[in-house]
Amino acid sequence: MAKIVVLGAGVMGSAFTMPLADNGHRISLVGTHLDDDIIEHIHETRVHPGLRTRLADNVTPYPIVALAGEIKDADLVVLGVNSHGVDWAVRTLSPLMRPDVPVVMVTKGLHGDGQTLSILPHALQQGFPASFRDRLNINAIGGPSIAGELAARRHTCVQVTGKDQGTLDHLAGLLRTPYYHIWTNTDLIGVEVCVAMKNLYALAAGLVIGLLERDGAAENGAAMHNLAAGIFAQGLYETAYLVETLGGQVRSVYTLPGAGDLYVTCLGGRNSRMGRWLGLGLRYEDARAQHMPSDSVEGAMLALAVGPTVEAMVHAGKLDAKHLPLFLHMIDIVCHTASARIPWDAFFA
């Protein structure tokens, strides 16, 4: 039995406790400074309000003030904050972490510094003190995993990725259950690029929902699945280019982290809801203000986080714009209030 600290009580961090709890581990679910209401609700009812699921008895909820006490004897730390919370997590964990304790990130996204793109595990690592930065063992989970399904113990297939195969085998043993199927993959860059980009391309696929609603079904009842499939395929094509350019393995694009995660993300959720409003003709800022003011739309968050860096890299010749027409168009929509006009003629260049 291991002592595991999960930092972040959102739906994915909390759902991740299910297989860990079913394997008999002792789990401390520590909320961030934004999670006090969630932690209090779990404390009072044992039910996570977002998942609408009872958490296991061996999952104990704690407010953020308890983190130092809980992490000091932890065997594993799981980072479940959203992508905008990584800098906060670095500041919070830096004085508390031991370099011999592995970290697993369920947070998805990319980091841009204005000149280069990097995956979040690398950005997280760079935030720690140089005295033990290189000794940190940071890993991640990637693949199609809807939090509500995992919380309901539906069959789920994911990869655990990192640099050290021995650590990955150990983590897989901690996590694997009859419903939570784990494969290992040492292509940390490839996996992390895939699971970040899926949010942006799911946002693009969501445009189709609004376009169909705007134009209406055809006389014969035909929808726009062909259009959505073209966007899906272009998303994989561009992801493959980014993975190879950043030093990952293209195989990850066509397995669970790429095709698998993009497929499940296109089925619904906040990216699809925002995509609908954009497809209906609303500008991003108006759609957010009027319809989704409190929602974290990961695809839009990614565009805002890395858009200026991607544009700078294209200008400097570090990225080839002809291989990223959909990515650049979504940056235009989110960052520059452009309207949705799918650049078909530039696809598959």
188: nearest Cα among 166, 157, 159, 163: 163
Per-residue tens of pLDDT for the chain, all 349 residues:
899 999 999 999 999 999 999 999 999 999 999 999 999 999 999 999 999 999 999 999 999 999 999 999 999 999 999 888 889 999 999 999 988 999 999 999 999 999 999 999 999 998 888 888 888 999 999 999 999 999 999 999 999 999 999 999 999 999 999 999 999 999 999 999 999 999 999 999 999 999 999 998 889 989 999 999 999 999 999 999 999 999 999 999 999 999 999 999 999 899 999 999 999 999 999 999 999 999 989 999 999 999 999 999 999 999 999 999 999 999 999 999 999 999 999 999 8
End-of-domain residue from the set 160, 186, 212: 186
Instruction: Indicate if 243 and 107 belong to the same structural domain.
Output: no
What pLDDT does 270 receive?
95
Whether residues 117 and 251 share a domain: the answer is no
**One domain for residues 14 and 131:** yes
Same domain, 144 and 209: no
- In this structure, the answer to whether residues 169 and 216 fall within a common structural domain is no
**Tell me, what amino acid is at 215?**
D
Q: What pLDDT is recorded for position 130?
A: 85
Looking at residue 226, its pLDDT comes to 95
Q: Residues with Cβ < 8 Å from 173, sequence gap 6 or more?
A: none
Q: Output the CA torsion sign for 12, 306, 119, 70.
A: negative
Residue 174 and residue 287 in one domain: no
Residue 329: Cβ within 10 Å count: 18
What per-residue confidence (pLDDT) applies to 336?
Answer: 96
Q: Does residue 169 share a domain with residue 22?
A: yes
What pLDDT is recorded for position 132?
A: 83
CA 126 to chain CA centroid, Å, is 19
Q: What is the CATH number of the domain that holds 170?
A: 3.40.50.720
Do 203 and 109 sit in the same domain of this protein? no
Give Cβ neighbours of residue 67 (< 8 Å, ≥ 6 apart).
Answer: 5, 7, 30, 92, 96
Residue 270 belongs to a domain with what CATH number? 1.10.1040.10
Question: Which residues span the domain enclosing 103?
Answer: 3-186
CA 145, CA 261: separation in Å to the nearest integer? 7
The count of structural domains within the chain is 2
**Domain end: 186, 205, 222, which one?**
186
Question: Collapsing DSSP states into helix, strand and coil, what is residue 301?
Answer: helix
Phi-psi domain of 146 (left: phi exceeds 0; alpha: psi -120 through 50; beta: other): beta
Asked if residue 39 lies in contact with residue 18, where contact means CB atoms within 8 angstroms, the answer is: no
Claim to verify: residue 109 and residue 60 sit in the same structural domain? yes
Question: What CA–CA distance (Å, rounded) separates 4 from 307?
Answer: 35
- Counted residue by residue, the chain has a size of 349
Residue where the block lists tokens 């005295």: 131
Element spanning 160, H or E: strand 156-161
Separation CA 168–CA 177 (nearest Å): 15
Please give the backbone phi and psi of residue 2, each rounded to the nearest 5 degrees, phi first.
-110, 155
Q: What is the pLDDT of residue 133?
A: 87
Q: Are residues 216 and 155 in the same domain?
A: no
Domain final position from 186, 206, 226? 186
150 plus 84 within the same structural domain: yes
pTM for the model: 0.95
Q: Other CB atoms closer than 10 Å to residue 20's CB: what's the count?
A: 23
Task: Give the SS3 label for residue 254.
Answer: helix
- Are 198 and 259 contained in the same domain? yes
